[in-house]
Amino acid sequence: MRQVKGSLTVETDGQGLYEVTARVQAWVAAQNIRHGLLTLYLHHTSASLLIQENADPDVLHDLHAFFRRVVPEDVRFYRHNQEGPDDMPAHIRAALTTTHLAIPVEDGRPDLGRWQGIYVFEHRSSPKERRLSLHLLGD
């Protein structure tokens, strides 16, 4: 068994879900590991990772709308507003989702379900560069 580490930079341009499935698949395919475990890690606290349906874009719209409703951008709710009304909601939305994912790898591909895609969920309104680490171990 061996391990390999990589990273991707994901450029985001406002709140929403950015699919990275194809880029992650391409990276895994290049590592010459057939079977194992892939771990993704996002080095930020105002963006997060999510596996979600990649068939109907309305799912992504509704998901984002839910988080806007449950975690309102209203500065009266928060003490931490230095970077604007989306600052603290970004941290809360990240806490409600996750900073890392693990996915089994089969035949050199992440073994995603038929409708599963891998997303970076951007919670800030301004453009950002997000750093995503990939760790793969296996044979």
State the residues that interact with a second copy by CB under 8 A: 1-3, 5, 35-37, 39, 41-46, 50-53, 56, 58-59, 61-63, 65-66, 70-71, 77-80, 82, 88, 91-92, 94-104, 106, 111-116, 131, 133, 135, 137-139
Identity of residue 43: H
Residue 30 vs 100, nearer CB to a second copy: 100
**Helical pair 87-96 and 57-70, crossing angle rounded to 10 deg:** 120
Residue 81 vs 125, nearer CB to a second copy: 81
Residue 98 vs 125, nearer CB to a second copy: 98
Minimum distance from CB of 88 to a second copy (Å)? 5
Minimum distance from CB of 119 to a second copy (Å)? 10
d(CA 40, CA 8) in angstroms, rounded, equals 10
The b/e string for 113-134 (b: 16+ C-beta within 10 A; e otherwise) is eeebbbbbbbbbbeebebebeb
Residue 30 vs 43, nearer CB to a second copy: 43
Q: Are 14 and 121 in contact (CB under 8 A)?
A: no
d(CA 40, CA 132) in angstroms, rounded, equals 7
Residue 85, helix vs strand vs coil? coil
Minimum distance from CB of 126 to a second copy (Å)? 16
